[in-house]
Amino acid sequence: MSELPKSPKVISNKVIDLLVSDVLQKNGVNLEDVKKKLSDDQKELLRAVVEDLTAQVDEFVKKSPKKK
Amino acid sequence: MSYWKCRYCNCKNEETDNCKHCKSHKPKEQEKEESTVGNNHGHHHNETDITQDFDLASFMGQESDELIWIKDSIDVTVKSTDTQAAVSLQVGLQLAIALVVSVTVADSEHGRHIAHDLFQKFNMEQTNKQKIFVKNSKDVNITTTDTDLAVNIQALLQVLVSLVAKLDIL
């Protein structure tokens, strides 16, 4: 598999942002309404989930064997 | 004696309740009766009735096969990424995205549509097969990385972070 790029290409954050906004907009989600609806507990829980997953992904990407 | 043909594995069965080959499938008539009770997505297994809701949350197909074949060789070192860990990380991310969407959208059917849209944009369904053969060799170092999986995982994390950032959670 020597032809594979040395490190995975990461998609630009702007593209992802645009994609997420587009999907939410097309499905008629009003972000302001949703923000008001979320309780502090829910926000705290989701924040913990995201932080945990971010740490796991970082660790996985770092752990992948380096090519010579 | 009457026979019925299983429509999944095409084998002939006598008057038993379940298909003798794939065990869980039933004659068509019986299956029809059951499908009116629960939702019938794709193949019908008895257990899927209970876990139906999760089917769509992590419906992305991903297959990763790795085969390393070594014969008549000496001093071969193999370094391979733990694909299993990567796959479970991917499933964790998919579920987290589905969770955020489900919390933000009260209507579960609507939420399912949004999660489906997000996943579908990535067209994650892919197969990655690596086969490595080593024969009559000495002092070989093999290092394999499932790059596709690593990219998918990072992209999914970006989607998740973008979603929560939009909701002022981070």
pLDDT in tens, A10-55: 678 888 888 888 888 888 888 888 888 888 888 888 899 999 999 9
Predicted confidence at residue B122, as pLDDT, reads 64
Confidence of residue B50 (pLDDT cuts 50, 70, 90): very low
Whether A8 and chain B come into contact, CB under 8 Å, resolves to: yes
Confidence of residue B136 (pLDDT cuts 50, 70, 90): very high
Query: Would the pLDDT of B44 be above 80?
Result: no
Burial class (CB in 10 A: 0-12, 13-18, 19+), A34: middle
User: What does the alpha-carbon distance between residue A49 and residue B93 come to, in Å, rounded to a whole number?
Assistant: 9
For A54, nearest residue in chain B (alpha carbons)? B157
Calculate mean pLDDT across residues B32-60: 43
Predicted confidence at residue A2, as pLDDT, reads 41
Cβ pair A56:B86 closer than 8 A: no
User: What does the alpha-carbon distance between residue B144 and residue A53 come to, in Å, rounded to a whole number?
Assistant: 24
Whether A4 and chain B come into contact, CB under 8 Å, resolves to: yes
Within a domain: B32:
no
Predicted confidence at residue A31, as pLDDT, reads 83
Predicted confidence at residue B45, as pLDDT, reads 44
Predicted confidence at residue B139, as pLDDT, reads 92
Number of domains in chain B: 1
- Check: CB of residue B76 under 8 Å from CB of residue B51: no
Cβ pair A21:B151 closer than 8 A: no
More confident residue, B149 or B168: B168
- Indicate yes or no: pTM above 0.80: no
Predicted confidence at residue A54, as pLDDT, reads 92
Within a domain: B100:
yes
- The answer for residues whose C-beta is within 8 angstroms of residue B9's C-beta and 6 or more apart is B19, B21, B22, B25
More confident residue, B62 or B92: B92
Query: Would the pLDDT of B22 be above 70?
Result: no
More confident residue, A31 or B65: A31
Whether A56 and chain B come into contact, CB under 8 Å, resolves to: yes
Cβ pair A9:B151 closer than 8 A: yes
Whether A25 and chain B come into contact, CB under 8 Å, resolves to: no
Which is it for the CA torsion B154, B157, B163, B167, positive or negative?
negative
Cβ pair A56:B114 closer than 8 A: no
User: What does the alpha-carbon distance between residue B60 and residue B118 come to, in Å, rounded to a whole number?
Assistant: 11
CB contacts of A16 in chain B (<8 Å) are: 155, 158-159, 162
Calculate mean pLDDT across residues B148-157: 80
Predicted confidence at residue A52, as pLDDT, reads 92
- Chains A & B: contacts with CB separation below 8 Å: 122
Domain span holding position B158:
60-168
Within a domain: B128:
yes
Q: Which of B85, B144, B166 sits opposite A20 (nearest CB)?
A: B166
Find the helix or strand (DSSP H, E) in which B134 lies. strand B126-135
Within a domain: B21:
no
Whether A43 and chain B come into contact, CB under 8 Å, resolves to: yes
Within a domain: B151:
yes
Q: How far is A30 from chain B (nearest CA, A)?
A: 10
- Check: CB of residue B155 under 8 Å from CB of residue A12: no
Q: Name the average pLDDT for chain B.
A: 71
Cβ pair B150:A60 closer than 8 A: yes
